[in-house]
Amino acid sequence: MPGAGGCPAKTRMAEPTPQSPAARLSRLFRKAGVFLAKGQLQDALRVLREGEALARSLGDEEKLTLFREEIARCQQQQSA
């Protein structure tokens, strides 16, 4: 039976599709960039560390290096 406005009373939410590891790493890197652009170093560091842990767990040495370099830059900015 349709609800108000002709919509079904219950609509199913689409289940999120699992992201590939590369997509997850990319998303974390972009998210950290947004925090950096806003000057929110603590939030950026938190996200970068999350990405570092994910890259380590996946055995992705290239991405692990990128996350560690960004963490080092954030820590330098923080102490400046």
Query: What's the domain range around 68?
Result: 21-79
Q: Please write the tens of the pLDDT for every residue from 27-57.
A: 999 999 999 999 999 999 999 999 999 999 9
SS3 8: strand
Under a CB-based contact definition with an 8 Å cutoff, are residues 52 and 71 in contact?
A: yes
- Please indicate, yes or no, if residue 65 is contained in any of the structural domains: yes
Is 46 contained in some domain?
yes
Say how many domains are in the chain. Answer: 1
Question: For residues 10 and 34, which has the higher predicted lDDT (pLDDT)?
Answer: 34
Which percentage of the chain shows pLDDT scores above 90?
Answer: 71
- Residue 80, classified by CB atoms within 10 Å of its CB into exposed (0-12), middle (13-18) or buried (19+), is exposed
The pLDDT, as a whole number, for residue 12 is 62
Position 7 pLDDT exceeds 90: no
Domain assignment present for residue 6? The answer is: no
Q: Is residue 45 part of a domain?
A: yes
Residue 1 is assigned to a structural domain of this protein: no
Q: What is the pTM of this model?
A: 0.76
Q: 71 in a domain, yes or no?
A: yes
